[in-house]
Structure 1
Amino acid sequence: MDNIFAYLRSRWQLLLFYGIVLAILLLTAFLGNQDMGLALYAAAMLTFMLVLLLLAEGSRFCGRLRLLQRLLQRLGALPSGLPRPDGAMEAAYGSLIEELAQEAAALRRALEKNQADSLAYYTLWVHQIKTPIAAMELVLRQDTSTQAEVLRQELFKIQRYVELALQYNKLQDLASDLVITPCDLAAILRECVKKYALLFIHQGLSVEIGPLAETVVSDKKWLSFLLEQIISNGAKYTHTGGMRIYMEGERLVLEDTGIGIRPEDLPRIFERGYTGYNGRLDSRASGIGLYMAKRVADALGIALAVESQLDQGTRVFLRFPDRDAFRFM
């Protein structure tokens, strides 16, 4: 019905002209004392021809409109999927759409090439930078001084930022990098905590891991990345106490006793580049970590939520998808 009304609105000028002609015909017959039966017959014939015209043209209009509506769902079919032009005006519009489609395709190819080149560069850079990092680790391993301990922590942060740069570029095509399998949640969490053990030990923080779900359906590499971002934030903004990791019903909870998050900042913590009040306390905050964590969680079908109270700590909740959620992927 919407398409029919759309057609009638597009032919309002014809309908208005028909109404005016019909009114003139009947008014002329009435004022001229003509046979009204003949006038009504002429009006009926005129109406009949108009209905035939509207049915024929309306059917064609609705068919073309349905085709265009389907094309909107798959713009990649442009311009070959467009209906054949009806007149010079439609032909001009068709040519314009074809030019725009070709230009858009060229821009898309250039963007994909730039993204591929950028990813290749960052991948190469990450692998090359690992060599001097490994050399520095070997040197620092032989030094047990306090200064060496501080340098080991800073070197660990450099490694993390290097990995973050590579993963950030991979976010552009995250879906193609996912390998969904049953994952041992406890084992993945232990690896993540072990990776950040140096920071926890240096800051005198405790880590408690309670009973966890045996397996979850996810991508091991990206799930580890997601958990590392949360653990890293917990260690960064916790000065006393520590972190607890446990199950609350069907949700995984990562709880810290850190400085917390202001209520006005909570709705925006997953926005790219947003650092909030805590970011002003630490000028090194980039606002990228939680943004990436949310992107990864969405790709993995994990519901991510945060509760926090200022000066009391933060709780991060992860609800994993059902086992059959990826059945048709």
Structure 2
Amino acid sequence: MKTELKEYILEKRQVLGAAALGLLISSGVLFLYQLPLEAVWYSALLVCFAEALWLFTGFGKFRKKQKLLRQLAGEQRKDFSIRDLPESEDPKEEVYQELIESLMKEKGRKDAETAERLRNMEEYYTLWVHQIKTPIAAMSLLLQEEDTPENGELSMELFHIEQYVEMVLQYLRLESPDPDLAIRSVKVDSCVRQAVRKYARSFIRKKIALDFHETGMEVVTDEKWLVFVLEQLVSNALKYTKKGTIRIYGKDGFLSIEDTGIGITAEDLPRIFEKGYTGYNGRLDKKSTGIGLYLCQKVLKKLGHGITITSVPGKGTKAVLRFVQEKREYD
């Protein structure tokens, strides 16, 4: 109330100043004409009363208007319309509202163009991904005809190509204005098995042991996107682990994926979720895209989950997913 009254007085300061000056001049003129002092005071009192009445009625409108504007500013609605604004009271406000309406129309047009461009790009790359999978599958079948070490190596490289192709599609879907989410209760252990099964050949080929302890957890999430995150984390663990074990365990809404790999340097750790950042180990590997962990964090934000990664160089890395429901990014 006090703040609004102060704002109102500041807005009307010029009018109040002009009224005070007019009252002073008129009172001075009446006094110079040697009219009775009572008449001067009476006329001044009438003017002050009329001014106070005008201010009082105006303050009610001002307060209602400010309340509506603050409410609109706090809601941050995407469907905001110029009709939601309070009715303009003077030509200056009308011009401002016309300017806002013009800017909103331009923004709507730009947003529609951007959305259409993203849809077209997603459709193109979706088609490309499905088309490229055909020759990849054919090459995989050809390599399986003869079980040789060379063909085994080629099969793994082909598998990596397939993963990168899939990552392109997931990246585009994630950047889409309408995220493809199907939120429901999901068994975490089932998602872990799907992710591990995908990289079974890599575990066997690299002779990396898997220590998976069933969690029994069920979380409210999107199964497809959660599996995608787990696949990225398992892939990273395999990529940077030469020998040893990858442990997967969890309880009370937390899931940990821990490896005995080369670890992440202290300098790189704060930046691992940046898009395109590969770090020291990624530069040595020469196969790192710097996109995997960026996508993981972005997906988890949309799902209302979290992720933290700790690491000791030379000893291993630990990724912890937090399934405690937070505010989803699109809410």
Q: Tell me which residue corresponds to 1:128.
A: 131
Paired position in structure 1 for 2:68:
67
- The match for 2:168 is 165
TM-score (norm 2): 0.87
CA distance in 1, matches of 2:32, 2:78: 58
Residue equivalent to 1:256: 259
Alignment equivalent of 1:181, drawn from 171, 179, 184: 184
- Aligned-residue offset at 1:194: 1.8
Q: CA offset at residue 184 of structure 1?
A: 2.7
What residue number does 1:43 align with? 44
* CA deviation after TM superposition for structure 1 residue 21, in Å: 4.4
Does the residue aligned with 2:84 lie in a helix, a strand or coil?
coil
Q: Which moved more, 1:128-137 or 1:272-281?
A: 272-281
Picking from 67, 87, 94, the partner of 1:84 is: 87
Between 154-163 and 41-50, the greater mean CA deviation after superposition: 41-50
* Partner SS for 1:76: coil
Paired amino acid for 1:193? V
Q: Which residue number in structure 1 is paired with residue 55 of structure 2?
A: 54
The residue type equivalent to 1:245 in the other structure is I
SS, match of residue 249 in structure 2: strand
1:16-70 alpha-carbon deviations (Å, 9 max, x no partner)? 3344445566778889987554444333222212211212222223333333333
For 2:294, the equivalent position in structure 1 comes to 291
Structure 1 pair 213–319 and aligned structure 2 pair: CA distance change class (3 A): farther
- Asked whether the 8 Å contact 2:209–2:246 carries over to 1, the reply is yes
Deviation at 1:161, TM superposition (A): 0.7
Distance 1:43 1:265 in 2: 75
When residues 283 and 47 of structure 1 are mapped into structure 2, their CA distance, relative to the original with a 3 A threshold, is farther
Contact 1:175 1:299 in 2 (8 A): no
Query: Equivalent residue of 2:324, what SS?
Result: coil
- CA offsets per residue over residues 110-143 of structure 1, 9 Å max, x none? 1111111111111111111110001000100012
User: 2: distance between equivalents of 1:313 and 1:59?
Assistant: 66
Task: Supply the distance in 2 between the matched residues of 1:248 and 1:258 (Cα, whole angstroms).
Answer: 23
Question: Residues 141-160 of structure 1 correspond to what in structure 2 (within 5 A)?
Answer: 141-160=144-163
Q: CA RMSD in A?
A: 2.8
Which one of the candidate residues 226, 231, 234 is aligned to 1:231? 234
Structure 2: distance between partners of 1:123 and 1:211: 35
The equivalent of 1:16 in structure 2 is 17
Q: What is the aligned length?
A: 326
Amino acid corresponding to residue 48 of structure 1 in structure 2: F
- Does the 8 Å CA contact 1:79/1:98 hold for their aligned counterparts? yes
Secondary structure of the residue that 2:82 maps to in structure 1? coil
Tell me the distance in 2 between the aligned counterparts of 1:259 and 1:314: 8
Q: Give yes or no for contact 2:217–2:253 (8 Å, CA) kept in 1.
A: no
Identical-pair percentage: 39
Report the counterpart of residue 4 of structure 2 in structure 1: 3
* Aligned residues of 1:183 and 1:215 also touching (Cα < 8 A): yes
**Aligned with 2:83: secondary structure?**
coil
Structure 1: tracts of 5 or more residues without a match: none
Q: Secondary structure at the match of 2:210?
A: strand
Contact 2:275 2:290 in 1 (8 A): yes
Shift of 1:309: 1.4
Please tell me whether residue 208 in structure 1 is matched to residue 211 in structure 2: yes
1:248, distance to aligned residue in structure 2 (A): 5.0
How far, CA to CA, are the matches of 2:177 and 2:320 in structure 1?
A: 22
CA distance in 2, matches of 1:125, 1:40: 88
SS in 1 for 2:225: helix
Is residue 183–residue 219 contact of structure 1 (8 Å, CA) maintained in 2? yes
CA shift for structure 1 position 209: 0.6
Aligned to 1:320: 323
Distance 1:174 1:209 in 2: 36
Residue of structure 1 equivalent to 2:223: 220
Structure 1 distance, partners of 2:80, 2:9, is: 28
After the TM superposition, which of the residue ranges 152-161 and 201-210 deviates more from structure 2? Answer: 201-210
AA in 2 matched with 1:271: E
CA distance in 1, matches of 2:29, 2:311: 82
> Residues of 2 paired with 1:32 and 1:79: CA distance?
55
Distance 1:170 1:308 in 2: 30
Q: 1:208 Cα shift?
A: 1.1
- For the residues of structure 2 that align with 1:79 and 1:29, how far apart are their CA atoms? 50
After superposition, the Cα gap between the structure-2 partners of 1:186 and 1:42, relative to the gap in structure 1 and judged at 3 Å, is same
What residue identity is the alignment partner of 2:49? Answer: F
* Residue 257 to residue 33, structure 1, CA distance change in 2 (3 Å): farther
Report deviation, 1:245.
0.6
